[in-house]
Amino acid sequence: MLWTPFKKVPKECLGIDIGTSYIKMVEIRKRGKDKELSNYGEIKVSDIYPDFKASIITAEIEEVANVIGAIIAEAKIKTRTAVFSLPDYSSFFTTFTLPAMTKEEIPEAVKYEAPLHIPLPLTKVTLDWQVVEGFEKQGVPLEILLVAVPNEIVNRYREIASLAKLNLEALEAEVFGLIRSLIKSDLTTALVDIGAESTTCSIVDKKILKSSHSFDTGGKRLTEALAGLLNVEWERAEKLKIENGILGVKSVREGLLPTLNLILKETEQICSEFSETERKEVENLILAGGSALLPGLKEYFAENINLPKFPKEKFGQVNKKVEIADPFSGLISPPVLSKNLGEMGPLYAVSVGIALRGIQ
């Protein structure tokens, strides 16, 4: 979604996810009706630039392109066609309603309505939109999902691709990659993507994005809280977090739970607002991002999250299905790659989703 310069669909594509401290990519190839994971790779930017302290998002374009080139060389990736993910916090999402109209009339109507919903001048953003409700029903109002990304962000990614000698097939907001790789049914699902700097909770109904909200709590804050409580160095706290989660040492659990509860409560709030508006239950939760693999996190969410149930008098704790992201299900892969895929799933969900975009 968003920006696609080429119309010819390639048979293989890279999905490149530029996070705040890691760059991850997967190579997916189309083989008849099957899709094959051919290769993958990742680099923590500080491993190449030891003095690098800033977010990748604000790094010099040349540095980012060099890191991408290093991954491609190390993993011996041959594909040069790529889709890049756009961080959700750089993308503006909104929905609005249009009166019933023909398919041909919609683009002009969206262009007219967009300035009422976008906080930036249209000359400074790149717009994309899709009809999420009412399109197939004549005489029914249309619900439009509008996405806007600042042109400076779009241009930055174009330059990175050019310097990395890649053919940029498309740019796409992270959430759409997650939907493509993780949503396999029509269940109303909350995608909870716990990144390093922030968490994004997106509600998907019948495989269509209904809402998406980000908040500034993520894996780094978990580590910082633990380091402060135990009075240990950041690196030591990170190791303790990964090894123990909330199942191991009691002091580690006590250090992590306050921040995890913030994530849980924000998720509850976002889900509740959706349910109150749409009169629908959130039936399923999928945890993605590096912190999704913390020991005990899946079970803690399943036991403690409170979501509204309809009829409203049944509001209260409901046993929801909580899953760990598995974007590799449905892909064939060489045995040499398969053994690590279970642990990689939450980390590579965006990369897989946007690579699939490139070959569809």
The CATH number assigned to the domain holding 171 equals 3.30.420.40
Cα–chain-centroid distance for residue 232? 31
Q: In which residue are the tokens 């269509």 written?
A: 208
Q: Strands 306-307, 199-205: parallel, antiparallel or unpaired by DSSP?
A: unpaired
Lowest-confidence range among 8-22, 129-143, 266-280, 286-300?
129-143
Decide which of 127, 150, 173 is a domain's last residue.
150
Q: Rounded to whole angstroms, how far apart are CA atoms 321 and 343?
A: 20
- DSSP 8-state symbol, 117: T
The answer to whether residues 169 and 143 belong to one domain is no
The answer to whether residues 200 and 247 belong to one domain is yes
Entry pTM: 0.88
Closest CA to 265 of 210, 306, 295: 306
pLDDT 10s digits, 13-23: 999 998 877 89
Q: Strands 12-18, 81-86: parallel, antiparallel or unpaired by DSSP?
A: parallel
The answer to whether residues 167 and 42 belong to one domain is yes
What is the band of 9 on the pLDDT scale with cuts at 50, 70, 90? low
Residues 6+ apart with CB under 8 A from 46: 21, 52
What is the per-residue pLDDT for 313?
A: 46
User: Looking at the domain assignment, is residue 247 inside a domain?
Assistant: yes
User: Looking at the domain assignment, is residue 193 inside a domain?
Assistant: yes
Residues 6+ apart with CB under 8 A from 293: 242, 324, 343, 346, 347
pLDDT 10s digits, 27-76: 999 988 889 999 999 987 667 655 554 556 667 888 889 889 999 999 89
The answer to whether residues 233 and 312 belong to one domain is yes
Closest CA to 132 of 159, 164, 106, 158: 106
The answer to whether residues 246 and 341 belong to one domain is no
More confident residue, 57 or 291: 291
Q: Which two tokens stand for residue 354?
A: 């946007």
The answer to whether residues 352 and 306 belong to one domain is no
What is the residue type of 170?
A
Helix (H, G, I), strand (E, B) or coil at 17: strand
For the stretch 150-163, what's the b/e string if a residue is b when 16 or more beta carbons lie within 10 angstroms of its beta carbon? eeebbebbbebbeb
Q: Rounded to whole angstroms, how far apart are CA atoms 152 and 67?
A: 21
Q: Please say whether the beta carbons of 95 and 146 come within 8 A.
A: yes
Going through 246-326 in order, the beta strands assigned E by DSSP cover: 284-288, 306-307, 316-317, 321-324
The answer to whether residues 159 and 283 belong to one domain is no
pLDDT 10s digits, 72-106: 999 899 899 999 998 877 888 888 899 988 888 88
- Total domain count for the chain? 3
The answer to whether residues 124 and 271 belong to one domain is no
Does the structure show a pLDDT above 90 at 193?
yes
Residue 319: count of CB within 10 angstroms of its CB: 8
Which structural domain range is residue 164 located in?
Answer: 12-89+151-182+329-359
The answer to whether residues 197 and 313 belong to one domain is yes
The answer to whether residues 39 and 165 belong to one domain is yes
User: Looking at the domain assignment, is residue 6 inside a domain?
Assistant: no
CATH number, domain with residue 134: 3.30.1490.300
Closest CA to 240 of 249, 30, 231: 249
User: Looking at the domain assignment, is residue 1 inside a domain?
Assistant: no
Sheet with strand 92-98: strands edge to edge: 92-98, 142-150, 125-133
What is the per-residue pLDDT for 6?
A: 46
The answer to whether residues 286 and 214 belong to one domain is yes
Q: Which two tokens stand for residue 188?
A: 């109303």
The answer to whether residues 250 and 302 belong to one domain is yes
Mean pLDDT, the chain, rounded, equals: 87
